[in-house]
Chains A and B, each alone.
Chain A
Amino acid sequence: MDIQKDLVAASATPIVLSLLRHGESYGYAIIRSVREVSGDRIEWTDGMLYPVLHRLEAAGFVRSTWRTADSGRRRKYYRITKQGEAELARLREQWDVVHDALGRLAQSRKTGADDV
């Protein structure tokens, strides 16, 4: 399934924040997790993630630290902040509203059609 670009863009922030709530992670692992969790249906261009992460960091929602992995490779790990959790809660609420509305509309259309 090819998800519309606008939707991919709008959902990037909540998805990244949700993922980081499970523990800190780095760019490559984040993209892999998103692919796995969505059953390969959400595919991000690798390069696109970093501007998102940097924007989140600038906003204070995540914090990053450079660390050297066991393999000797230096990686930038991202961790969610208190502010980030609050932002995530806010975004989740918005998504719930949208999701709810969509669900109800689908329902009422079905029942409405039966009535007529």
Chain B
Amino acid sequence: MFDLESQIRKWRRHIQSTGSLGAQDVEELESHLRDGIDELTGRGVNVEEAFLVSIHRMGDAAALQHEFTKVSTERVWRQLLLPAADEHARRKHRNEIAVVVLLVLLGGLLAKIPALFGYSVVEENALLYAKNAALFAFPPVAIYLIWKRALSLRFVAAAVATFGLFAVAVNAYPSYAPHHTEVLAVLHVPIALLLLLMALYAGPGWRRADLRLDFVRFAGEAFIYSVLIGLGGLVLVGVAGAMFQLVGIDIVPLISDWIAVFGAAGVFVFSAYLVEKKKGVIETIAPVLARIFTPLFLVVLLALVVTMALTGQAPSEDRELLIMFDIVLALVLGLVLYTMSARDTEKPADWWDAIVLGLVVMALIADAVALSGIVGRLATYGFSPNKAAALGENVALMINLLLLAAGYFRFLSGRLRYQTVVDWQMSYLPVHALWAAFVALAFPPLFEFA
């Protein structure tokens, strides 16, 4: 069956990947395309034909974009028509790498700000650096996205306000032993800030599920790139350190104070640039990762549930257990998101979707079995910040997986389109970030900065 929405999505991805089109340009072209389709279907043409005719009429939006960066003698009229845009696009292209290099340096400079206040040794101030890590690494990514998408001042203001709020809250809050709320900020600030990056990535269409899914792809791929580049960096630094030691020079201070700091803070914006440049790599990596680890995880969870049922062993450490199961649920969610981002939404349900559903359900069962044992005890000892944060995440993740289970079940039984499952998941995504923001911003005052 012809699915207009997924065809339009493919078309949009296609023209996005061919040129230097901004988010707004693509949205405008899409609106145009839909107008054309509506007019034709209004005259009685069927949807599939209307789509094809409209695409054809749009002409070579892709080729046209292509012309922006390539001079073609056959199409003189385009050059006559678009001299400014042509030159502009080429200049932008050339400037991009310069902008990215500057942004990498900016990340490094941000990471050197604590040194101005006398906290120069990273090892001695690990917590300070860790809780600010996202505030060093993400602003360059945000600037890159704003620049790349030519976003309006409203987005710039939102970005400045968000980063400012977190920077002030994270660093101005006092912290008393045992510093639990401060440690919580380390993990929760990046998650909360991802929501801002999602808004900047999607631009004016930030409410749209398909753009959010694009961001999931983008973030997943940038993560893979960052890990690969980081590993390469470690090897380089290790080799360099060893070599200089052989000739009697200790460059470790130089490495740990400058190279490592700049590298760590800059790698994300560079990865973001790589992802934007060569879209489509995730379409080969994500399915492979998902296919390898989905069944393996399913087996592990199954074994866990069976063990718990047979031994009746209720784990004794509540907090550790909560955190462990948060990690399990988050990993399962990650696997489903990877699967989702690589899946063709119009493909009918197959056995693989059943395995995904199995994984989600198994994770929920494991979580329920494990938590049922400690629910009573949670309230008795009162809530520490760690326990409250872990419990909140568990609830957020559990609802998310319930949603996915319900969606997958109805999709498999043919009562729901896969696109709807995607829509549900994408609408739910901000919940995780909002909870993380709550933990990072509201927990310290709530728990008296302990």
Q: Which residues of A pack against B, CB within 8 Å?
A: 5-6, 8-10, 12, 26-28, 45-48, 50-52, 54-55, 58-59, 66, 73-76
Contact = CB atoms under 8 A, between A and B. Distances in A.
Interface majority SS (helix, strand, loop, mixed), chain A:
helix
19 contacts: A5-B76, A5-B77, A8-B77, A12-B81, A26-B31, A28-B31, A45-B58, A45-B60, A46-B54, A46-B59, A46-B61, A47-B59, A50-B28, A50-B29, A51-B81, A55-B82, A55-B85, A58-B84, A75-B28
Interface stretch (B32-40, B316-324, B372-380): B32-40
B81 A73 contact: no
Nearest to B204: A66
A46 B77 contact: no
Nearest to B35: A28
A51 B31 contact: no
B74 to A, nearest CB: 11
Contacts of B77: 5-6, 8-9
Nearest to A76: B28
Contacts, number: 75
Interface centre among A12, A48, A73, A75 (most CB of B within 10 A): A48
B76 A27 contact: no
Interface majority SS (helix, strand, loop, mixed), chain B:
helix
A16 B80 CA distance: 16
Interface centre among A27, A50, A59 (most CB of B within 10 A): A50
Interface string B35-70: 110000000000000000010011111001000100
B24 interface: yes
Contact of B31 (A5, A6, A47, A75): A75
Contact of B25 (A26, A54, A55, A59): A54
Contacts of A28: 31-32, 35-36
Given A8-B77, A51-B82, A46 B64 contact: no
A97 to B, nearest CB: 20
Interface centre among A6, A46, A59 (most CB of B within 10 A): A46
A89 B32 CA distance: 29
B3 to A, nearest CB: 19
B5 interface: no
A9 B31 contact: no
B36 A46 contact: yes
A76 B449 CA distance: 48
B27 interface: yes
Contact of A48 (B28, B81, B204): B81
A60 to B, nearest CB: 12
Nearest to A43: B57
Given A5-B76, A27-B28, A76-B27, 19 more contacts: A5-B77, A6-B77, A8-B77, A12-B81, A26-B31, A45-B58, A45-B60, A46-B36, A46-B54, A46-B59, A47-B59, A47-B61, A48-B64, A51-B64, A51-B82, A55-B84, A58-B88, A75-B28, A76-B28
A6 B84 contact: no
A7 B54 CA distance: 25
A54 B85 contact: yes
A14 B88 CA distance: 22
